[in-house]
Structure 1
Amino acid sequence: MKDLQQFIKESPSSYQTAWSIIDHLEASGFKNLDEKKPWKLKPGNGYYVLRNKSSVIAFRSGTGSISQSGFMIAGAHTDSPSLKLKTEGGSWKNGSARVSTETYGSPIVSSWLDRELSIAGVVNIKRKGLWLRELFNYEKPIAVVPNLAIHINREVNKGFEYNKQNHLQVILGIGKSDKDPLKSLISDYSGVKINDLGEMDLFLYDSAPGSFLGDEYLVSPRIDNLAMCHSVLSALLSSKPSDSTQVAVFYDNEEIGSLTFQGANSSFLSEILERISLLEDEH
């Protein structure tokens, strides 16, 4: 359970989840494969493919033929219900920096209010003339979506329905006035100018780590679906080579329908399985 707790802490967004999975894979001897380059596979060895920095397919080549032993496949998804930052149009109002959000997937909206939130995801940054797609994780509390005080909202305990457009603006604790507070925060943290920031995909997350109730329950955000990612990854890493090729699939964007280049409705898995099969036929 403590391994799961640590895995969740390392994985505030689908991007960090993918790289946490890769860290564990590489520590166990798995090698990276590039979809755009030729592959050479050895029976019993482990490999992985990363797509869009947020989806991973890992596999251990079988010692038997695929036509006879086939594939053993388990899957999970790297994303979780959350609030996604609208990275354009931040503002200052009444002395505070505000940024709008949108729901990603189907979060329980009320559970996101009055929490110490941080920001994670991916940011395109220009460094030395080159555009790089970098992981971003602020790590410490920097934001809150506040409830109104009870004397302002008397209906809050009577089944109050939060309006996703009006009630989910996040307040950033950046302490200085800037016409674009979110980009100012990211540029300061990343050590670049605002003009060197490009496209971003950023999410809020609860900065409080998971904790245990007694020795039985783990209370943590993002258990959907990081518990499954952890289980599938642990199963693959603890398995010994077998006749069948063992495959672990970690898709992104399940929470929004999987209809992306790196989602479960893409050709990612079928392309990888086909390529493994064709390589066997060549030998």
Structure 2
Amino acid sequence: MTTNATAPFDRAHTDGLLSFLASAPTPYHAAASAAESLERAGFRRLSETEAWDGGAGGRFVVRGGTLIAWYVPEAAGPEASFRIAGAHTDSPNLRVKPIPDTGSSGWRQVAVELYGGPLLNSWLDRDLGLAGRLSLRDGSSRLVHVDRPLLRVPQLAIHLDRQVNEGLKLDKQQHMTPIWGLGKPSEGELIAFLAEESGVRPGEVTGWDLMTHSVEPPAYLGRERELVAGPRMDNLLSVHAGVAALLAAAERADLGAVPVLAAFDHEENGSQTDTGADGPLLGRVLDRSVYARGGTHEDRARAYAGTVCLSSDTGHAVHPNYPERHEPGHRPMPNGGPILKTNVNQRYATEGPGRAIFAGACERAGVPWQHFVSSNAMPCGTTIGPITAARHGITTVDIGVPILSMHSARELCGADDPYLLANALTAFLTD
């Protein structure tokens, strides 16, 4: 379903998305970049180990690759409900193993483990950098971002596999180990290199969470530049839109509900972590917000009863080369606006009341929208939506932006859709 009215396309928003994608090769960088945007707008970072006040204003907490931010309006009592824009910061990729230095046949390589469900072939013959966080002996951590060609997973030449174009089969252990030089591997070499890149002594590094990323920058694509190609759109596109929507909501003086951005880590591997949507972090933040405003258990129950979450994650645009893989009556297209994702088996949390909430937000924003439903012949993915609904007992609606090449090292979306999504989220947060 679409509306006739459309919000004017703002190329500046999509320009900002491209910059955000380039600056956020890991969930830790994504959370840090979003935090910087909030701090510039006057939001205050809170420590989970200290007491919180309940006054008006913007606040946020960061734990690892997860950021939860909210804005308390002047008129918000302890029973005020929440309007939550949900998203996730992680993307499928190749992550460094605990003993990373390896090699074979005169090549130095880096041992990696597959995170989430990456399209393996999209990581072949691609120049890769390394990024993540280093944990130091004093208990602090340091972000590292080597954004230059450092690694490569080389394909086997067609001369040595004449049947490769009839069907590529990759062994996840044997064939996905990237090279990064010649010679015999030396224990501790990779971490020493990254410590030097970060300006710390190698002996100070006692732990690490590192991952690869494509160093090819995101870019506009197409004759009319109507498309955007880039990494990690699933789901940094939604995180970026959520930050923009929360900042816009914070400028409103007439809010009756508390707008929230919840950007979680670990969605791609099931969300069952302390920083995932199935962990306790969001509930604790919402509870503490209620209690900091003088609320009681009854106020908390009232606040949750009126709370709504829009779980924003990318979905599948109809693929022109594989149209038979899509539901024939529901074929979302790039630049057609955000999608409402529905699955009657609750792989998505959308139901009738949620559809009405989303449709109303799009109507107020002048944003067109589309339906997404999987073909009955294809299994349906899932999101943080059903997890959020079940864990917190709140109305949840699954939405997103249609893209191609989901879980590839480089994905594709319409250049208008990020701005349209941000407008819809803004209308929802300010309802």
Same fold (TM over 0.5): yes
Match of 1:269 among 282, 285, 288: 282
The equivalent residue for 1:10 is 23
The equivalent residue for 1:56 is 67
* TM-superposed deviation, 1:72: 1.0
The equivalent residue for 1:94 is 105
The equivalent residue for 1:112 is 123
1:121 and 2:129 matched? no
Inter-partner Cα distance in structure 2 for 1:24 and 1:108: 31
Inter-partner Cα distance in structure 2 for 1:68 and 1:196: 47
The equivalent residue for 2:266 is 253
The equivalent residue for 2:210 is 202
* TM-superposed deviation, 1:16: 0.2
Q: Which structure 2 residues correspond to residues 76-225 of structure 1 after superposition, within 5 A?
A: 76-126=87-137, 130-173=138-181, 178-213=186-221, 214-225=224-235
Q: Deviations over 1:76-117 (max 9, x none)?
A: 001011111113052243332111211111110000010010
**2:264 maps to amino acid:** Y
* TM-superposed deviation, 1:251: 0.5
Inter-partner Cα distance in structure 1 for 2:183 and 2:230: 29
Inter-partner Cα distance in structure 2 for 1:115 and 1:168: 12
Q: Check the 8 A contact 1:92/1:179 in 2, yes or no.
A: no
Inter-partner Cα distance in structure 2 for 1:187 and 1:143: 17
**2:113 maps to amino acid:** E
**2:31 maps to amino acid:** A
The equivalent residue for 1:74 is 85
- Mark the CA change 1:114 to 1:60 in structure 2 (over 3 Å): closer, same or farther: same
* TM-superposed deviation, 1:162: 0.8
Inter-partner Cα distance in structure 1 for 2:101 and 2:115: 19
Match of 2:52 among 39, 55, 59: 39
- Mark the CA change 1:150 to 1:267 in structure 2 (over 3 Å): closer, same or farther: same
**1:234 maps to amino acid:** A
Q: CA RMSD in A?
A: 2.0
**2:270 maps to amino acid:** G
* TM-superposed deviation, 1:120: 0.7
Inter-partner Cα distance in structure 2 for 1:17 and 1:74: 16
Q: Deviations over 1:213-254 (max 9, x none)?
A: 132101001010000101111110112241211111010000
* TM-superposed deviation, 1:66: 4.2
* TM-superposed deviation, 1:172: 1.3
**1:48 maps to amino acid:** F
Q: Check the 8 A contact 2:53/2:293 in 1, yes or no.
A: no
State the SS of the aligned residue for 1:167: coil
**2:240 maps to amino acid:** H
Inter-partner Cα distance in structure 1 for 2:29 and 2:79: 37
**Greater alpha carbon shift after TM alignment, 60-69 vs 212-221:** 60-69
- What TM-score results when the alignment is normalised by the length of structure 2? 0.61
* TM-superposed deviation, 1:193: 4.3
Inter-partner Cα distance in structure 2 for 1:264 and 1:145: 32
Q: Check the 8 A contact 1:253/1:263 in 2, yes or no.
A: yes
Identity, % of aligned positions: 33
Inter-partner Cα distance in structure 2 for 1:137 and 1:259: 27
Can you give the 5+ residue segments of structure 1 that lack an aligned partner in the other structure?
A: none
Identify which of structures 1 and 2 has the higher relative contact order when contacts are C-alpha pairs closer than 8 Å and 6+ apart: 1
Q: Check the 8 A contact 1:178/1:184 in 2, yes or no.
A: no
1:235 and 2:245 matched? yes
Can you give the 5+ residue segments of structure 2 that lack an aligned partner in the other structure?
A: 1-13, 297-431
**Greater alpha carbon shift after TM alignment, 268-277 vs 86-95:** 86-95
- Mark the CA change 1:79 to 1:173 in structure 2 (over 3 Å): closer, same or farther: same
* TM-superposed deviation, 1:156: 1.9
Inter-partner Cα distance in structure 2 for 1:150 and 1:181: 33
- Mark the CA change 1:115 to 1:215 in structure 2 (over 3 Å): closer, same or farther: same
Q: Deviations over 1:178-208 (max 9, x none)?
A: 3343223223323444433211111100011
* TM-superposed deviation, 1:176: 8.3
**Greater alpha carbon shift after TM alignment, 86-95 vs 3-12:** 86-95
Inter-partner Cα distance in structure 1 for 2:81 and 2:160: 63
The equivalent residue for 2:236 is 226
Inter-partner Cα distance in structure 1 for 2:139 and 2:214: 29
State the SS of the aligned residue for 1:37: coil
